């Protein structure tokens, strides 16, 4: 896979580039700001982009804005956004533009090469990837009335796994149930959510978006801590 990496901290960028190279991917561009990122994407036509949300000059949301521009202008490019903070609003803001080929991970997690490579593969295949810490936070919060309320507790649990980007096999392994049981629960959940007339991969990203939208309360960014770290998704 041909990848552009945008991260203003040189050591962090170098670490990501090294992991990608050792995993067999080709890094075709490195950027220290959003303008440079957009130039590399236009010139190199990469398969995927990895970008930090907070980029120069203000270190607020320049990276997120650039990611949204890439989604609009280059729909075939997978976009993986990195953040030091757990904030569902960031993920939702990006996924609302186009859920397919879009992911949001905590920055600390990409230094596990298994997680990084798995996320890029899923995004390249047209899926979405949401950090498990965000999904976990949403599960702990009360929800406003929404379509997700129609699901049973087990269906909501499985939908949370879908939102993380786990395959049916990965969900079965995590929950210690048969894969055919996972398939049955997902089918019923999609029916209850009205997601019956689309390909399975597309329904999974739409279900992810519905799940994120169900967190209607505004949140403040929460710095990632050791308590939020978890093993890479099963798959």
Q: What's the mean pLDDT in 212-221?
A: 50
User: Which of 52-56, 84-88, 139-143, 194-198 is predicted least confidently?
Assistant: 139-143
Give phi and psi for 22, each to the nearest 5: -65, -25
Tracing tokens 């939208």 back to the chain, one arrives at: 213
Can you tell me the distance from the alpha carbon of 16 to that of 4, in angstroms, rounded to the nearest whole number? 11
Structure tokens at 15: 């670490």
> Domain 137-213 classified CATH 3.40.50.300?
no
Give phi and psi for 185, each to the nearest 5: -65, -40
* pLDDT (0 to 100) of residue 24: 95
Closest by alpha carbon to 207, among 229, 233, 187, 222?
Answer: 187
Contacts 24+ apart (CB under 8 A), 226-232: 228/86, 228/106, 228/133, 228/136, 229/108, 229/109, 230/132, 230/133, 230/136, 232/109, 232/112, 232/114, 232/115, 232/118
Give phi and psi for 196, each to the nearest 5: -115, -10
Sign, CA dihedral 20-22-28-29, equals: positive
Flag whether the pTM goes above 0.75.
Answer: no
Can you tell me the distance from the alpha carbon of 134 to that of 106, in angstroms, rounded to the nearest whole number? 9
Q: Is the pLDDT of residue 233 over 50?
A: no
163 neighbors 212 (Cβ within 8 angstroms): yes
162 neighbors 135 (Cβ within 8 angstroms): no
Q: What's the mean pLDDT in 139-159?
A: 75
232 vs 57, which has greater pLDDT?
57
User: How many CB atoms within 10 Å of residue 97?
Assistant: 14
Q: What's the mean pLDDT in 65-93?
A: 86
Q: What's the mean pLDDT in 171-200?
A: 85
Name the most confidently modeled range: 13-27, 111-125, 128-142, 156-170. Answer: 13-27
Q: Is the pLDDT of residue 225 over 50?
A: no
The string of pLDDT tens digits covering residues 80-139 is 999 887 776 777 777 776 778 888 899 888 889 998 999 999 899 888 888 887 777 665
Q: What's the mean pLDDT in 40-60?
A: 94
2-131 falls under which CATH superfamily? Answer: Response regulator (3.40.50.2300)
User: Which of 61-70, 119-128, 132-141, 154-163 is predicted least confidently?
Assistant: 132-141
Q: Is the pLDDT of residue 2 over 90?
A: yes
Domain residue limits, the chain: 2-131, 137-213
Tracing tokens 């055919």 back to the chain, one arrives at: 180
Confidence of residue 234 (pLDDT cuts 50, 70, 90): very low
User: How many CB atoms within 10 Å of residue 197?
Assistant: 7
């Amino acid at each position: 896979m041909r990848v552009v990496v945008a991260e203003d901290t040189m050591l962090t960028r170098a670490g990501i580039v090294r992991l990608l190279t050792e995993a067999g991917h080709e890094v075709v561009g490195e950027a220290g700001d959003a303008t440079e990122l957009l130039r590399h994407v236009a010139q190199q036509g990469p398969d995927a982009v990895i970008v930090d949300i907070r980029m120069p000059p203000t270190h607020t949301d320049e990276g997120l804005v650039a990611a949204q521009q890439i989604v609009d202008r280059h729909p075939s490019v997978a976009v993986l956004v990195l953040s030091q903070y757990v904030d569902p609003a960031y993920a939702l803001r990006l996924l609302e533009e186009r859920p397919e080929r879009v992911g949001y991970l905590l920055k600390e997690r990409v230094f596990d090469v298994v997680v990084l490579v798995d996320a890029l593969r899923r995004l390249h295949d047209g899926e979405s990837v949401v950090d498990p810490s965000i999904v976990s936070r949403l599960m702990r919060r009360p929800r406003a009335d929404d379509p997700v309320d129609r699901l049973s507790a087990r269906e909501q649990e499985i939908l949370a796994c879908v939102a993380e980007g786990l395959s049916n096999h990965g969900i079965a392994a995590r929950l210690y149930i048969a894969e055919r049981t996972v398939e049955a629960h997902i089918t019923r959940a999609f029916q209850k959510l009205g997601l019956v007339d689309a390909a399975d991969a597309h329904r999974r990203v739409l279900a992810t978006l519905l799940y994120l939208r169900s967190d209607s309360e505004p949140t403040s960014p929460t710095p990632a801590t050791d308590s939020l770290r978890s093993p890479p998704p099963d798959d």
